[in-house]
Chain A
Amino acid sequence: MSYRKAFIASNALMLAAFVWAFAKDFNAEWKPYQKQYYQMAADEMEKQAAAEKDEKKAAELKAEARKMRRTPLEIKQIIANDLGRFDRCVTCHVGMDEYTNTTLKNSFTEHPYKAHPKVDTALIKAHPFSKFGCTSCHSGQGLATQVDAAHGWVKHWEKPMLKGATIQGSCVKCHDNFETLKGAEIAAEGKKLFNKHGCQGCHAINGVGGVVSVELGDIADKPFERIAGYNFKKIRIDGKELPNEHHNNHWNLQNWIRAHLVNDPAAVTPNDPFAHYNAEPIPPSGMPDFREELSAEGAEAITTYLSGLTKEEIIPYRYHVTAAKAREPQLTGAANGKRVYEKYGCQGCHGLDAKQGRRRFNAAGEGQKEYDEKL
């Protein structure tokens, strides 16, 4: 090839590569969603216009729809400065953008077009999007503008979007005594179960509780590096292995917490004498097996409660809501003994109602023999 041809070819290739790069950048993942939303919203308006009897109003609606169709596409974001949130979720979830959809309501039923549910409830009214953003409750990667990255289903984003009931864990971040809080029932149930089964006997939360095992006051900040990824292979949720597709969609902190309640903990953290990921040998988990006592819903509730315990997220004091602490009953005699037994989490090892102690801790107790035989 002559140099003249190479010159022309290389210039053409440089131009082509630049066009390719620009095209890739221009065809961003969020654009079709936003465009589709405007079209759907405009269709809706035109339908309304056709049904409208007042001609002037119909013309106005039609004009509005035309304008809607031609809205330039842009990255939209909610800046919740106090909470350090910059959430671009509304770039695709346009129905939840207060500037495009002022009523925050629409008739669409599918994500990402549908509006936020329950916008009329006190819950949402107390948490305006403009102040709280999206990720302070839902988690996920607010800065991202691609589907997988935004929902946190990528490597190295350790706070994927909270699914199902676990979102109530976010209430725990600001509401200190949330036992009676409306909308946080599952988290409250989780806290109740946590104390009922005596978890606090070994796991302190913010200094309250035993020191047998790790403190859980910042369990939501646990880095995946310390979970030791390979352990996800050992856990079973609903009797099934967790798929590793869509990073962090399944291999995440919530499932790690849940795994301790729906598996034998010794299977989740087995003996590791060579300390694969840590500097010192790891003994098998000494945590009792709670599968007998806890239902799947109970495990979900405790997971929900614990996934709101964070220290990493800095929440301004004025965002904290503290309800009155529940009063402790004044009891005497054996009843008081039972209260103390439960308050300090003795039942975690010695069993509910001081029966069926675990791991031979209560050899003299009623039912221990049967329990041992079952093991």
Chain B
Amino acid sequence: MPTLDLEKIKKEIIDSQLWRSVFRGGVWKDTPRDRAGHIIGNVWLHLHPVKVRPRALEWLYTWGMGGISFALYLILTLTGVALMFYYRPTIGLAYRDIKDLEFAVTLGMFLRNAHRWAAQAMVVAVIAHMVRVFLTGAYKKPREFNWGIGVLLLTLTLFLSFTGYLLPWDQLAIWAVTVGTNMAGATPVLGNEGPLGSLMGMRINNDVRFTLLGGTMVGENTLLRFYVMHCVAVPLVVGILLILHFWRIRKDSFSAAPYVANEEKVDVWPHLVKREYIAAAATVIFIMIWSILQDAPLEAIANPNVTTNPSKAPWYFVGLQELLVYFDPWIAGVVMPGLIVVGLIAIPYIDTNPKGVGYYAWKERPFANTMFMLGVVMWFALIYIGYALRGPNYAWYWPWESWFLNKPAPPPTWSVFGPKGVGAYSMLIGIPLLGAVGAAWMLLPKLIQKELDGKKLMGGFLGLLALFAAVGMAMGRMNATQAGFLLFLVGASFYYGFVLPQRHIRTLDWPRYLVTMVLVTSTMSILLKMCASLAFDIKYVLTIPALSMNF
């Protein structure tokens, strides 16, 4: 009886011309050469280096968020292409096609859910990836450029999600996109409602918003434009940037610092690849189960004549929408997001601290970590306020309050320097006064050469504020809530905007110092304006009607 020699059969198969023509390399012997060859000989795996530092394998170091973001991008590409077979981007058919997906297409609802939820998850994953990269100092030399690419990829992720939001053509879509694109109309110079816009001849039918919408309101052209951007243009750009992003990680080498000097690197195959597989599989399972259990929302068909109340932007932009309560659209919708993107890209070039590359370093990078995390927390806090605490007429509703509850109309607002405040020409006082305060705030931390005692400084400032509040309360001009707002928000602004910069960045060179302070003070201006607006009903601190500029 002839025995079945499996090893021999296996060897014959692997050595056959067919097998060898498809797969490079012969029988697997698990030698270092084999492992390296497995990475080098495979076009996809070749995105990895052959060896990495052991720290790069730590889940607590990487959080796996970069890989998970890419896995979500792949899920989105696959489900998106499948959805394209069923979807026609015209206002007569789009909504019906979504209904068809929901009710008639095999696995249609599942596909749509997976696409929707993966998109939401990707926004979160990309932000988490950025936070991890920041906290481990991975953007520092020589990886500044790749951090910039990453910021662009984050922006494009949000834009992809935003363009996709319109495609179901329901009430949710049309009004979220209306909110989002109306901000573009407030762009300075390029938007018809922005400062200097009318000077440049911007009208509703030739400004940047018009370009985005292909019309003066969200309509057929907008749907087609958003469809093409969502399915073709932006994914293409994202793909190109992703290649660049991956290639630079490979070339600049992964950021993880060695545990010990001269430590030996480990093979990517199988140590890193198996972790990546598990992360990707867990992502797929997570998205699948989420898609089975919860259906994507679909409201009534889009109707430009019926505005939903409240109308909210997609959740990741609701934070910016919440800023609209405190600032004019050109600041909330254009300047602030612009500063966020530019500021993020600038971070590697203004952060000269050489420490903390490739590991978590709270003690070694107190200023950078504190300010960055403050920004992230504020971003999500504003999203929470806008998403969960704003009801009809964008009034403030606590989570336990029913939206059926009647809210009294908000008290009338006033402006400090302007026609509705001190007087019609009070900007002649307001501009130099606020300019002087701003300049002092910007310059003083550096001009005071020696480090001040933070505790004394903070105590003194809070004491002054408390005195002010006490006088106000004694005069009956201020109540306890207002005093609380004043102490908390203005105190916090002083701590993060003055005490910390004074302690940590006064030694920076002037250009870097000034850029940093612009970012710091504009972040603090949000807290200060929230205090002014929520507690004291101040609409603007300074209005210049002639230029349609209000602050």
Q: List chain A positions with a Cβ less than 8 A from chain B.
A: 3, 6-7, 10-11, 13-14, 17-18, 20-22, 24-25, 75, 86, 88, 141, 143-146, 149, 155-158, 223, 225-226, 229-230, 233, 272-277, 279
Q: Evaluate contact between A10 and B407: CB separation under 8 angstroms.
A: no
- From the candidates B289, B303, B393, name the one contacting A223 in the complex (CB within 8 A): B303
Bound Cα distance from A157 to B309, whole angstroms = 17
CB-CB < 8 A to A14: which residues of B?
Answer: 281, 284-285, 288
Is there a chain A Cβ closer than 8 Å to B106's Cβ? yes
In this complex, the member of B96, B104, B303, B306 whose beta carbon has the largest number of chain A beta carbons within 10 angstroms is B104
CB-CB < 8 A to B288: which residues of A?
Answer: 14, 17-18, 20-21
- From the candidates B99, B300, B308, B408, name the one contacting A143 in the complex (CB within 8 A): B99
Bound Cα distance from A86 to B406, whole angstroms = 41
Q: How far is the CB of B114 from chain A (nearest CB, A)?
A: 9
In this complex, the member of B171, B285, B298, B303 whose beta carbon has the largest number of chain A beta carbons within 10 angstroms is B285
Q: Evaluate contact between B406 and A274: CB separation under 8 angstroms.
A: yes
- From the candidates A10, A143, A272, A274, name the one contacting B282 in the complex (CB within 8 A): A10
Q: How far is the CB of A215 from chain B (nearest CB, A)?
A: 15
Is there a chain A Cβ closer than 8 Å to B400's Cβ? no
Q: How far is the CB of B25 from chain A (nearest CB, A)?
A: 21
Given contacts A229-B404, A274-B408, contact A156 B298 (CB under 8 A): yes
Given contacts A25-B106, A25-B110, contact A223 B285 (CB under 8 A): no
Bound Cα distance from A120 to B109, whole angstroms = 40
Q: List chain B positions with a Cβ less than 8 A from chain A.
A: 96, 99-100, 102-104, 106-107, 109-110, 170-171, 274-275, 277-278, 281-282, 284-285, 288-289, 291-292, 298-300, 303, 306-309, 392-393, 403-404, 406-409
Q: Please give me the residue from chain B that is nearest to A30 by CB atom.
A: B103
Bound Cα distance from A362 to B79, whole angstroms = 69
CB-CB < 8 A to A22: which residues of B?
Answer: 107
CB-CB < 8 A to A272: which residues of B?
Answer: 406
Bound Cα distance from A24 to B291, whole angstroms = 11
Q: Evaluate contact between A230 and B300: CB separation under 8 angstroms.
A: no
CB-CB < 8 A to B282: which residues of A?
Answer: 10
Q: Evaluate contact between B306 and A223: CB separation under 8 angstroms.
A: yes
Q: Evaluate contact between B281 and A21: CB separation under 8 angstroms.
A: no
Q: Please give me the residue from chain A that is nearest to B280 by CB atom.
A: A10
Bound Cα distance from A279 to B309, whole angstroms = 10
Known: A156-B299, A223-B303. 4 other contacts (CB 8 A): A7-B278, A14-B281, A225-B306, A225-B308
- From the candidates A75, A158, A226, name the one contacting B300 in the complex (CB within 8 A): A158
Given contacts A17-B289, A25-B110, contact A145 B103 (CB under 8 A): yes
Bound Cα distance from A108 to B221, whole angstroms = 51
Given contacts A17-B288, A276-B407, contact A149 B392 (CB under 8 A): no
Q: How far is the CB of B220 from chain A (nearest CB, A)?
A: 17
- From the candidates B103, B307, B406, name the one contacting A144 in the complex (CB within 8 A): B103
Q: Evaluate contact between A276 and B392: CB separation under 8 angstroms.
A: yes
Given contacts A156-B298, A223-B303, A274-B408, contact A21 B104 (CB under 8 A): no
Q: Please give me the residue from chain B that is nearest to A13 by CB atom.
A: B285
CB-CB < 8 A to A157: which residues of B?
Answer: 300
Bound Cα distance from A226 to B110, whole angstroms = 33
Bound Cα distance from A118 to B156, whole angstroms = 59
Q: Please give me the residue from chain B that is nearest to A224 by CB atom.
A: B300
Q: Evaluate contact between A274 and B407: CB separation under 8 angstroms.
A: yes
Bound Cα distance from A229 to B405, whole angstroms = 12
Q: Please give me the residue from chain B that is nearest to A312 by CB atom.
A: B303
CB-CB < 8 A to B285: which residues of A?
Answer: 10, 13-14, 17
Q: Please give me the residue from chain A that is nearest to B114 by CB atom.
A: A21
CB-CB < 8 A to B278: which residues of A?
Answer: 3, 6-7, 10
Q: Evaluate contact between A143 and B392: CB separation under 8 angstroms.
A: no
CB-CB < 8 A to B275: which residues of A?
Answer: 3
Q: Evaluate contact between B104 and A145: CB separation under 8 angstroms.
A: yes
Bound Cα distance from A88 to B102, whole angstroms = 13
Bound Cα distance from A78 to B307, whole angstroms = 33
CB-CB < 8 A to B103: which residues of A?
Answer: 88, 143-146, 149
Bound Cα distance from A276 to B403, whole angstroms = 9
Bound Cα distance from A44 to B274, whole angstroms = 61
CB-CB < 8 A to A86: which residues of B?
Answer: 96
Q: Evaluate contact between A230 and B274: CB separation under 8 angstroms.
A: no
Q: Evaluate contact between A143 and B284: CB separation under 8 angstroms.
A: no
Bound Cα distance from A17 to B106, whole angstroms = 16
Bound Cα distance from A155 to B109, whole angstroms = 17
Q: How far is the CB of B541 from chain A (nearest CB, A)?
A: 26
21 of the cross-chain contacts (CB-CB < 8 Å) are A3-B278, A11-B281, A14-B285, A17-B284, A17-B288, A17-B292, A21-B107, A22-B107, A86-B96, A88-B103, A143-B100, A143-B104, A144-B99, A145-B104, A149-B103, A156-B170, A156-B299, A225-B306, A272-B406, A274-B408, A277-B309
Q: How far is the CB of B168 from chain A (nearest CB, A)?
A: 11
Q: Evaluate contact between A277 and B392: CB separation under 8 angstroms.
A: yes
Q: Evaluate contact between A276 and B406: CB separation under 8 angstroms.
A: yes
Q: Evaluate contact between B107 and A25: CB separation under 8 angstroms.
A: yes
Q: Evaluate contact between B303 and A24: CB separation under 8 angstroms.
A: no
Q: Please give me the residue from chain A that is nearest to B277 by CB atom.
A: A7
Q: How far is the CB of A371 from chain B (nearest CB, A)?
A: 32
CB-CB < 8 A to A275: which residues of B?
Answer: 393, 409
Q: Evaluate contact between B299 and A225: CB separation under 8 angstroms.
A: no
Q: Please give me the residue from chain A that is nearest to B284 by CB atom.
A: A14
Q: Please give me the residue from chain B that is nearest to A143 by CB atom.
A: B99
Q: Evaluate contact between B404 and A230: CB separation under 8 angstroms.
A: yes
**Nearest 9 pairs of A and B residues by beta carbon:** A10-B281, A230-B404, A17-B288, A143-B99, A223-B306, A156-B299, A145-B103, A156-B300, A3-B274
Bound Cα distance from A149 to B309, whole angstroms = 24
CB-CB < 8 A to B171: which residues of A?
Answer: 156
Bound Cα distance from A86 to B308, whole angstroms = 27
Bound Cα distance from A272 to B96, whole angstroms = 37
Q: Evaluate contact between A226 and B281: CB separation under 8 angstroms.
A: no
- From the candidates A17, A88, A226, name the one contacting B306 in the complex (CB within 8 A): A226
Bound Cα distance from A156 to B98, whole angstroms = 14
CB-CB < 8 A to A3: which residues of B?
Answer: 274-275, 278
Bound Cα distance from A10 to B284, whole angstroms = 9
CB-CB < 8 A to A156: which residues of B?
Answer: 170-171, 298-300
Q: How far is the CB of A227 from chain B (nearest CB, A)?
A: 11
CB-CB < 8 A to A230: which residues of B?
Answer: 403-404
Q: How far is the CB of A58 from chain B (nearest CB, A)?
A: 39
Given contacts A3-B274, A144-B103, A274-B406, contact A21 B96 (CB under 8 A): no
Q: Evaluate contact between A233 and B281: CB separation under 8 angstroms.
A: no
Q: How far is the CB of B509 from chain A (nearest CB, A)?
A: 48
Q: How far is the CB of B107 from chain A (nearest CB, A)?
A: 5
Bound Cα distance from A18 to B287, whole angstroms = 11
Bound Cα distance from A372 to B69, whole angstroms = 72
Bound Cα distance from A3 to B281, whole angstroms = 12
Bound Cα distance from A208 to B303, whole angstroms = 27
Bound Cα distance from A250 to B282, whole angstroms = 43
Q: Evaluate contact between A21 and B292: CB separation under 8 angstroms.
A: yes
Q: How far is the CB of B284 from chain A (nearest CB, A)?
A: 6
Q: How far is the CB of B525 from chain A (nearest CB, A)?
A: 29
Q: Evaluate contact between B104 and A88: CB separation under 8 angstroms.
A: yes
Bound Cα distance from A146 to B102, whole angstroms = 10
CB-CB < 8 A to A143: which residues of B?
Answer: 96, 99-100, 103-104
Q: Please give me the residue from chain B that is nearest to A23 by CB atom.
A: B292
